[in-house]
Amino acid sequence: MMRGIWTRETVALLLIAACLPLAAFWLWYGGPGAAARLGLAALVLAAWQLVFLLVRAQPVCVVGALTALAVAMLAPEGLGPWRLVLGISFGAVMGELVFGGWGRNVVHPATVALSFLGFGFPAFAWPEIALPVAWAAIPAGLIGLVSGVMPVGVLGAAALLGAAATGAGLVDPGVLPAAGVVLVLLVADPVCSASTRPGQWLTGALYAALTGLFAAGWHGAAPVQITVAAALLTALAAPALDETALAVWHANRRRRHGRT
């Protein structure tokens, strides 16, 4: 009866549902300006998905709404529409669509777009994450965990390590709101994080470690900038973490059962 219900679109819809609290709080505090950014981002992403549907017969995916939310929330402020369109186009095409669409990409398209905008236009200030919006990341993560679309290891390791480091006074608490939002929106994406269980825990730990490292050593960087950079490097490292997990599994198997 339930067979066939878990398609790519089901996962995408559940991810969107998980991030709804975040979107609602952000729109409430951001006002019409935030809504306009979200609308613009969604429009650009929809246009590119349509182009790839017509040219390469790649099926459209609703997850674009989530990418739009991430870019609109985290992109530097005051960029104006054209720069935003350029950055989103780059992220969507180079980060996701050329690989064959959502599910085959290596890095989250929003991470690519945000990194592009950050490096390309360094003069623009990164946004501040309002505290109530950051609190909304907790229900978002919980819904993602309960529905099974966000990897437990990523959220668990990042939360545990982050809490421990903050408790020990190693991490500046000012980074935490941005770190939570980026964790839920970009790092805990089931496609861009590791696929194996140990790899997922390593992914979360790496994200927390990189965030802590950048927060301590990267002077003059905004919290969102720090966490987006950590998310980018974490996503790039995820395949290597999976490889490590598989290599350890194979080594254990060989040790127990001999060469098979």
Counting contacts by CB under 8 A, is residue 121 touching another protein?
A: yes
Counting contacts by CB under 8 A, is residue 220 touching another protein?
A: no
- Could you tell me which stretch among 97-105, 131-139, 144-152, 189-197 binds another protein (CB under 8 A)? 97-105
Counting contacts by CB under 8 A, is residue 233 touching another protein?
A: no
User: Measured from the CB atom, is 48 or 116 closer to another protein?
Assistant: 116
Counting contacts by CB under 8 A, is residue 260 touching another protein?
A: no
- Could you tell me which stretch among 13-21, 93-101, 225-233, 236-244 binds another protein (CB under 8 A)? 93-101
Q: Which of 1, 31, 32, 122 binds another protein (CB under 8 A)?
A: 122
Q: Which of 1, 4, 32, 259 binds another protein (CB under 8 A)?
A: 4
Q: Which of 17, 51, 53, 94 binds another protein (CB under 8 A)?
A: 94
User: Measured from the CB atom, is 99 or 135 closer to another protein?
Assistant: 99
Residue of 62, 18, 33, 31 lying closest to 181 (CA atoms): 18
Counting contacts by CB under 8 A, is residue 120 touching another protein?
A: yes
Which residue ranges make up the site for another protein (CB under 8 A)? 4, 7, 83, 90, 94, 98, 100, 104, 116, 119-122
